[in-house]
Amino acid sequence: MGGFRQYSPDEYIPVVIGGNAGGTNNPPVATTQKPLALAGCGELVGVVAATQLPALACSMVRFKARWNNTGFVYLGGAGVTKADGATDTTTGLMLGPGDDTGWIPISNLNLLYRICDAVADCLTYMALV
């Protein structure tokens, strides 16, 4: 009877990369990859001034705006700003109520900042190492 093998965080998973990509005859390359483990989960309460996220080493993170937020949450670099209808380089990625970023490769949460429309606009996250 077949099934899935459970890998521990200290083992490497066999992975096949490549093979006939783009119509070429590239042979597949066998390699290994360490499985991801949970680095942390949390909720960040709303802030109306650009605020750095907490220090948490990770390799991937996913953010989700709380579904009952009344406004938007913006993620970006230091000095992140809210959308204001003007072209600039500081406006963050806008997350409406219930929006999700998908997985973002990043080495530490503290590389990102957030700003919200209201202090009631919360953001949750899950980070993997």
- 36 vs 15, residue with greater confidence: 36
Query: In 26-72, where do the E strands start and end?
Result: 28-33, 38-44, 51-52, 60-65
What percent of the chain shows pLDDT beyond 70?
Answer: 74
Asked whether the predicted pLDDT for residue 21 surpasses 60, the reply is no
Mean pLDDT of 45-55: 97
The architecture CATH gives domain 38-128: Sandwich (2.60)
Mean pLDDT of 103-110: 97
- 33 vs 64, residue with greater confidence: 64
Phi (first) and psi of residue 110, to 5 degrees? -70, 0
Give the mean pLDDT of the chain: 86
| Cβ atoms of 87 and 7 closer than 8 Å | no
Tell which residue, 84, 80, 111, has the closest CA to residue 93: 80
Asked whether the predicted pLDDT for residue 1 surpasses 50, the reply is no
Tell which residue, 14, 16, 46, has the closest CA to residue 117: 46
Provide the pairing of β-strand 93-95 with 28-33. Answer: unpaired
Q: What predicted TM-score, i.e. pTM, was given to this entire model?
A: 0.73
d(CA 100, CA 83): 18
